Structure 1
Amino acid sequence: MILTEPLASISGRVLLVPPSESDDALFAALRCHPETRRYIPSIPQHYTPEEARERRLAFEADKARLNFSIYAVTPGSQPKYVGAVGIFNIDEASKSCEMGISIWPDSYRAGFATEAMHTLLTHAFEERRLHRVVYHTAAHNVRMRGWLERFGATLEGTLRDNRPDGKGGYQDDCLYSILEHEWIQTVKPKMEEQIRRVIC
C-alpha cells in the first residue's frame, strides 16, 4: 500500500515520504550495511538498487504494508535520507500490525528514529485506529531493545532460534508490543518529552 502524501513529525524535523525510484539506491545501501545486517543477518551482503526497486513495487501493491523513507529536514538544506520505516502484517480484523525501522548509523542519537516512530505510531493508533503494534528485534540488539523499553513497550517474550544467524545457526528475537491505551497513557507522552528535549 502507498500513501500519496508524506507524514510530518510534530517538530517538522522529520518527514516520512512514500518511497520513490530516487530512494532505491539509498535503501539498497542501508539494507546491506554491516550495522543493519548485524541484527538481520539473513539480509544478503550485496543488495542492488534493482532489487530495492522490485521490493518497493511489490510492497506498493500489498494492502497489509505501508513503507516510508525517513528524511531529516534542515532549514536551508535539501532533506537528507536517514533511513526507512514501515508498518506490515496489518490485520484489520484484529486491529494489529508490526513495525520496523532502520536508521543510518551516522544518524544515530539525533532523535530521528524517535520522531519517525512517533509519527508512524500516531498514524497507526490515531488515524488507522489500530489496537496493537508489535516489534520483533534481535535479542542482541541492545540499542533497539533499550529504545523500546525506555518509551514503555512491553517485552512479551523471547522467540528462540527465530531467524538464521548467517553463520549456520539461529538467533533469538525478542517480541515487544504497545497497546492503544499504553500509547495514549505512557508511550506517546514519553516520546514527546524526548523530542522536546532534543529540539531544545
Structure 2
Amino acid sequence: MSTQPLTRIPPILTLHGSHVTLRTPTQTDDSKMREMLSDVTTMKHLRFMTHELQGGWTLAEVAARRERQISGQQDSSALVLHIHVVDPVTGAENLAGSTGFTSVDMTHLNAFCGIILHHEYWSRGVATEAFYLVLRYAFETLGLHRVAFETTEGNEGMRGWLERVAGVKVEGVRKEVLRVQGEWVDSWDYAIFEDDWKSGLKKALEERMAKRNGEEVQSLLERMSINW
C-alpha cells in the first residue's frame, strides 16, 4: 500500500542517517551557528551573508534567524534543518551546518534547497548524506516534484556535486543577480526532479555512501591495529 504524501511539514522533525542526523534548529545551536555564519572560509561562496562589515553575526541575529526558520517550518513554507555529524567512536553529535529548503511550495510541489557546511566537514561525505536525507524526505514524504538549487560559477564544490554526483545539468544562468564583495555575480541554477530520484539518483547516492562507509570502517580498523 502506498503512503499518501504529507500536506504539511511537522513543526519538529528529525531525519536519521548513518553518520548524519538532521534536526529542527534549537537555541543550543545558536553559538556554533554564529561561528559558522561569521566564518569567511565556511561562507566562502556566501560572503554576502557573513555580516563582515559589522564584525560577524550577533547571537541575537542568529536567534532571530532560527525563529524565522522555525516559523517557516510551522507554516510549511520552508524546512531548514541543522546537520549533526555522529562520531563513529563515541556516538556524540557535533553540529556541522544546516541544509534543507529555504522555500517550499506545497501547491506546485517544488522547493529551493541549499546547504551551509563548516569547512572542517568538506569532502568527507557529509554533504552527500545530508542531501540524500532531505531529497528522500522531499520526494518520498512530501511528494514534491522538483527541488531547485542556486549557486555561483566559482562554487566548484556545489556545482561538481550537482553535475557529477547527482548527474544534473545547469538549467540556466541568471546574469548578475547577486552582489558579493562589491561585485555582481551570476546565479547558476539546477534542479532535481522526482523522476531523477526514482530512476537512479537514490540508488546512486546509497551506493556512494555505502562505499564511503566501507572505506571509513577499513581505515578505522587499520588505525586501531596500529594503535594496538
Same fold (TM over 0.5): yes
Aligned position for 2:67 = 57
1:144 CA displacement: 0.6
Identity %: 26
1:83-162 correspondence to structure 2 within 5 Å: 83-150=97-164, 151-162=166-177
Q: In the alignment, does 2:20 pair up with 1:14? A: yes
Shift of 1:2: 6.0
- Work out whether residues 176 and 185 of structure 2, in 8 Å CA contact, stay in contact via their aligned partners in 1: yes
Per-residue CA deviations over 1:18-50 (Å, capped at 9, x if unaligned) read 110011111111112112432122111211222
Cα distance between partner residues in 2 of 1:37 and 1:72: 19
Structure (1/2) with the larger helix percentage: 2
Instruction: Tell me the number of residue pairs that the alignment of Structure 1 and Structure 2 aligns.
Output: 197
Q: TM-score, normalised by structure 1?
A: 0.93
Checking the alignment, whether the CA contact within 8 Å between 2:96 and 2:118 is kept in structure 1 is yes
Residue 198 and residue 114 in structure 1: after superposition, are their counterparts in 2 closer, same or farther (change >3 A)? same
Match of 1:165 among 180, 205, 208: 180
Higher Cα Rg: structure 1 or 2? 2
130-139 vs 80-89, which deviates more?
80-89
Deviations for 1:113-146, whole angstroms, at most 9, x for unmatched residues? 1001100000000000000000001111011100
Match in the other structure for 2:219? none
Q: Please, what TM-score do these two structures have when normalized by structure 2?
A: 0.82
Aligned partner of 2:12 in structure 1 is 4
In 1: Cα distance, 2:208 partner to 2:168 partner: 15
Match of 2:224 in 1: none
Q: Report if the CA contact (8 A) 2:11-2:70 is conserved.
A: no
CA–CA distance in structure 2, aligned partners of residues 5 and 83 of structure 1: 16
In the alignment, the residues of structure 2 paired with residue 56 and residue 82 of structure 1 have an alpha-carbon distance, to the nearest angstrom, of 16
Give the Cα separation in 2 of the matches to 1:52 and 1:176. 28
Q: Given that residues 150 and 188 in structure 2 are in contact (C-alpha distance below 8 angstroms), is that contact kept between their aligned partners in structure 1?
A: yes
Off by >4 Å, runs of 4+ in structure 1: none
Q: Which letter does structure 2 place at the counterpart of 1:22?
A: T
RMSD: 1.4
Aligned equivalents of 1:161 and 1:15: distance in 2? 36
**Match status 1:180 vs 2:194:** yes
SS in 1 for 2:202: helix
Q: Deviations over 1:56-101 (max 9, x none)?
A: 1122112311111101112424211111112122111211000000
Tell me if structure 2 keeps the 8 A contact 1:139–1:158: no
| Gap regions ≥5 residues in structure 2 | 1-8, 215-228
Q: For residues 80 and 37 of structure 1, do their structure 2 counterparts lie closer, same or farther at Cα, with a shift above 3 Å needed?
A: closer
1:47 aligned to 2:69? no
Equivalent in the alignment of 1:68: 81
- Structure 1 residue runs of 5 or longer lacking an equivalent are none
Secondary structure of the structure 2 residue equivalent to 1:56: helix
Q: 1:23 aligns with which of 25, 29, 41?
A: 29
